[in-house]
Chains A and B, each alone.
Chain A
């Protein structure tokens, strides 16, 4: 099951399939063909439980007719298979006006934001397995209170081509490598957990340094620190969020609400607000698909547009939304290269890439020192947002009380809840440090890899979902 380096489908075949897709009419047709291979290894309960590998290839064909999209996919990449899928996708185009259309493709390539030194497929499986044993050993060496360790390694490679009836013909070869460690600790108050992961659009060179030991140590440290955790407060408090995993805050507080599919349907609290102050002047938010080897980077999006760096909010002013081809067409403008799909079996939609807040000027320690009472969030987990109301939640997976400007006792895992525009306005300190972290973003049933990042910052008031008095 090796990946084919050659073209998945010849351009002449693509031209005929695109013409076939528009035979019954329609304004636009697109073929997206993909070859994907993955390897995953998991260790749990001291055992390498499993090494699994998978391979899929297929094509999704889209026909747009007015405001209607028809879509079908196939795992048969022969001309016959593609023509059958094209016929199914074009079932929406019935208004006539079809006939013979000639499509002439013109091939382009965009530069990749990253480089891959060692393709994971060229690395012996035994080498990948060994990483997990090292993680298990390191995490357990931290304390006898670390009672369980699970670790996972995953690599995947996605090669795709995309061609459309406007003559666009391009593609990308994307490699992703990720490692995660989860520890369970046991103490007087029960069980606790610690999780840490990193992922990049690079190859196996990710492991050249001490990544495995660093991640395992951090997961163990987190699980152990939480053994002393007391119940979190319930109510509104100032929150200082450490750089790195806190990027999920902006992903939920405004990232999703700035996706143009919500804007064109008027289902976002940020609709009709271009040029307005939507956040504190300290907030400059960027979505950048070209941001080096971060988890959400690519050369071209899944509609064939070269990745871009898009400023969304500048000094608190809403500058632009994120666009895919469909939403851009409705608004009469160009895509911002945010059209992504989980696989050839899915329609593309507006998605984030690497979304991050730019650094400010303050010293992160000083921000804590100037907070008399509040919560210090050292790590955040996932979140969820209702883009129409702006209400969003995000979970903290390592947090402490701040008392008299000092970080004191750890508190138990809870969600925080806020309203996007309200929380953005309450950012009153942004530090000069910075960190990114990888995530998997789910939207409308599709998952894609994204990066989130931010400096240490303070929000003057967020609701903490604990059980103790605030």
Chain B
């Protein structure tokens, strides 16, 4: 089979007079193994590929996808996209990007080791992970223990001469276990992530899962209060992903962002600097190119608490009279590009987690949150999520608590950041985690 980029260019080359065409191709391979009671529960092997074609003609955009790289199927998708374009509203900002000359970062996101890693090795990892979890007598059940990996090659080319191709690999260990007995049950979820199997840390995945489950045993519903919360790294990463979404230039231009018209203003505590940097190879979302084929780049979103700007793809940039920040993302070949972050993080502070707990003295350590999609309104900024964690007393983690909510608004939470941890870690997904302390948050309990 020819290289993806060649197929993409061949589709783009079919553009007629007054027409722009973009072809995005992806081909991926995934393996997943789950162990249950020391034998393989599931072993799935999957390959999938497809092409998404975007057509712009007379300032109208159309799109179609097909789950195949077959030339005939791609031709059908092109015909469909052309037809679909005729039904869109004329849009003076519609159009594909041309090269902006920005140099692409040289990133090595691919592991040859993964390709040579046999199925039996993957099975052995999953079984060993489950064994290590069950070896701890406090663990009553291991609901899930497994290994997954994925490798993806993708290419994009448009009829204005822009083209890009990249590939990446990743693998994960994951575990979900139950500690406790009867009504007094607690759960913990843990993982380890890397680009190749040798980067995985099985013991830390198991240890993290066990610690999270066992320390929650005996948790009770706390009383409602107004207090300082210290967010676990994972919770911070979730919060940062939400904030990055609100900084989408597309949402700003459509009047749906609480950060609209606020560039230059203090929107966060002075200690807070928020960056989007997909050129950092440590980020699991790292990529040398965005989904339209422009080079990704480091973008300062908030510096010293001050709002610096927004993320743009090529259309959002045209609407705003700005330039693309290389922030086009897409959810595979089945979607058109939209604006989004790939690798958002806070500039780390000076204190480790224990030092932050000591500094806070009294408050709530939030181990995990639930209901983000139902409880966070990115337009109004209202933030209300289910939470579980441990009370902080005398600067130490104390009794576990659950069945409570924590609530504030995004606006207030950013202003009320009091400590930013030094413990930055890139997590699966599009954000880095670190310990974060936020004061004046509402705890909803009994």
Contact = CB atoms under 8 A, between A and B. Distances in A.
Contacts of A1: 64, 66, 76-77, 80
A467 B407 contact: yes
Interface stretch (B109-117, B270-278, B375-383): B375-383
Complex A-B, nearest 7 residue pairs according to Cβ-Cβ distance, in ascending order: A395-B374, A465-B405, A56-B67, A393-B371, A415-B375, A393-B386, A414-B384
A393 to B, nearest CB: 3
A191 to B, nearest CB: 5
A67 B42 CA distance: 9
Contact of A73 (B46, B68, B76, B254): B46
B371 A391 contact: no
Interface stretch (A164-172, A204-212, A378-386): A378-386
Contacts of A232: 384, 407
B43 A69 contact: yes
Contacts of A53: 63-65, 80, 84
Contacts of B240: none
Contacts of B445: 234-235, 463
Q: Which of B68, B334, B386 has the most CB of A within 10 A?
A: B386
Contacts of B43: 68-71, 91-92
Interface string B43-71: 11111111000000000011111111000
A24 interface: no
A424 interface: no
A113 interface: no
Given A51-B62, A73-B48, A267-B143, 10 more contacts: A52-B65, A71-B44, A72-B45, A186-B255, A235-B224, A235-B445, A265-B141, A465-B375, A465-B407, A466-B405
B374 A393 contact: yes
B224 A415 contact: no
Interface string B350-377: 0000000000000000000011011101
Q: Which of B63, B187, B334, B379 has the most CB of A within 10 A?
A: B379
B238 interface: no
A234 B224 contact: yes
Interface of A: 1, 41, 43-58, 66-75, 88-89, 91-92, 125-126, 129, 147-148, 150, 184, 186, 190-193, 226, 232, 234-236, 265-267, 269, 345, 347, 380-384, 386, 388-389, 391-395, 412-419, 463-468, 470
Contacts of B375: 393, 395, 413-415, 465
B256 A465 contact: no
B187 A51 contact: no
Nearest to A150: B254
Contacts of A395: 371, 373-375, 384
Contacts of A464: 405, 444
Contacts of B84: 50-53, 125
B380 A383 contact: no
Interface stretch (B33-41, B163-171, B321-329, B429-437): B33-41
Contact of B254 (A48, A148, A347): A148
A312 B369 CA distance: 29
6 contacts: A50-B84, A75-B49, A347-B42, A381-B373, A384-B373, A467-B442
B178 A388 contact: yes
A148 B88 CA distance: 18
Given A234-B407, A463-B405, A465-B407, A384 B61 contact: no
B186 interface: yes
A354 B388 CA distance: 30
B69 to A, nearest CB: 9
B403 interface: yes
A56 B50 contact: yes
B407 A466 contact: yes
A41 B87 CA distance: 9
A416 B43 CA distance: 38
Nearest to B319: A45
Nearest to A382: B374
A52 B53 CA distance: 10
A232 B41 CA distance: 45
Contacts of A48: 87-89
A384 B66 contact: no
Contacts of A413: 375, 377, 380, 382, 384
Contact of A191 (B73, B187, B258): B258
A91 B66 CA distance: 29
B91 interface: yes
Nearest to B91: A47
A382 B373 contact: yes
B336 A51 contact: no
Contacts of A416: 405
B407 A125 contact: no
Contact of B405 (A74, A88, A125, A417): A417
A268 to B, nearest CB: 10
B203 interface: no
Contacts of B49: 75
A70 B37 CA distance: 16
Contacts of A235: 224, 444-446
Given A147-B255, A266-B141, A415-B386, A465 B406 contact: yes
Nearest to B403: A391
Nearest to B83: A125
Nearest to B445: A463
Contact of A50 (B61, B186, B404): B61
B385 interface: yes
B25 interface: no
B141 A389 contact: no
Contacts of B253: 45
A73 B48 CA distance: 8
B408 interface: yes
A384 B408 contact: no
Contacts of B141: 265-267
B402 interface: yes
Given A47-B89, A67-B37, A412-B382, A417 B403 contact: yes
B119 interface: yes
Contacts of B67: 54-58, 75
Interface string B404-435: 11111000000000000000000000000000
B379 A193 contact: yes
A415 B384 contact: yes
Nearest to B446: A236
B370 A393 contact: yes
A353 to B, nearest CB: 21
Given A126-B87, A129-B87, A391-B386, A234 B66 contact: no
Contacts of A389: 185-187, 402
A226 B83 CA distance: 40
Interface string B249-263: 000011110100000
A384 B371 contact: yes
Contacts of B386: 384, 391-393, 415, 417, 465
B129 interface: no
A213 B32 CA distance: 46
Contacts of A380: 374
B443 interface: yes
Nearest to A66: B39
A413 B380 CA distance: 9
Contacts of B65: 52-55
Q: Which of A147, A347, A412 has the most CB of B within 10 A?
A: A412
Contacts of A383: 371, 374
A51 B183 CA distance: 51
A91 B381 CA distance: 50
A417 B151 CA distance: 38
Contacts of A50: 61-63, 84, 88, 336
Contacts of A418: 403
Nearest to A58: B67
Contacts of A147: 255
